[in-house]
Structure 1
Amino acid sequence: MPEKGLKELFIDELKDLYNAENQLVKALPKLAKASEFPELKAGFEEHLEQTKGHVERLESIFVKLGEDPKGKKCKGMEGLVEEGAEAIEEYEGAVRDAALIGGAQRVEHYEMAGYGTVIAMAKQLGESSHAKLLEQTLEEEKETDAKLTSLSKKVNPTAADGQNQSKRVEASTKKTASHHAA
């Protein structure tokens, strides 16, 4: 097997990010549809448009490199998207929204790590114009993460209150049942 250098690794990592972003383009509408909190739904819809822009930036880099962006499956993103789909099935209401925010933040952190890696490689390879495009995406991912943190501060108390409500109903039902049994 021929030895591969940093340039080949850079291209391979870009392909991984390209696939990851395309997986998100498919997943974000499902997350938006599953969200009950209007700001979260709007946030997912806004990030969908932003993610399409991320795909376009990556495509422009591939054109300049003379490379095909396809050919790599991002298994990490596949797992994160799958976990998001499970949350949609397992939870409801504000608790589902809290789970979706947590899953989305894991996605953002995964992407931030990936973009940080390719930016460092681009700079090492002297690809400053590519690094600048990738840095724009990294900044948008950081902004999205911050928005998700802000939304979690609004959603989590509602999720906790709903859970406490159900515990109070459960406790009162048990008291009533034990009272009738006596």
Structure 2
Amino acid sequence: MMRSYLSAGLLFVAVATTPARADDIVDAIEQGRKAYQSGDMTAAKQSLDLASQLIAQKNAEGYATVLPEPLSGWKADKAQTSAVGAAVFGGVSAATRTYTNAKGDTVEISISGDSALLMQFAPMLNNPAMAGALGKLIRIGNQRAVQNPDGDVMMIVANKFLINVQGTADSASKVAYAQAIDIAKLSKL
């Protein structure tokens, strides 16, 4: 009996003094490193792909934090996040939120990043002559944006993020929502 108390006590001490488990990203990277060092390239790639996917998911969650609260007279759905692996368009992390007013008008904001495709698209939007071919150039704070004939707004932030503001609402509402995005915080992600 004394032995079982002693065993239980030692187990409790071992659990209580074990350092907190690292996060899933660090674990996946470490598993990939160990697999690589042991020569198991398949397991190394799978672990590092998992780490990459987990990082993309974490990025998407960060994007969701810069989506604005509903403006006066509007309500919003919960922000949705997604992360598509590198096999599709070089990988994309995104956050989207839809806002609705009493008349049923909608505004949807999406923020995308982590995409090789975006990096190819950014120079076009950053060049005023080329961007002007897509629509009317406008300013959203310090950002240059393009507004198409439907009033949808598109802008590139920090050469890493694509913001789209679209929906059935009028142009002024779409611009107001574009202005409500925390661009400074997004730039730091």
Task: Give the TM-score, by structure 2 length.
Answer: 0.25
* Larger proportion of helix: 1
Give the structure with higher Rg (CA): 2
Higher strand share: 2
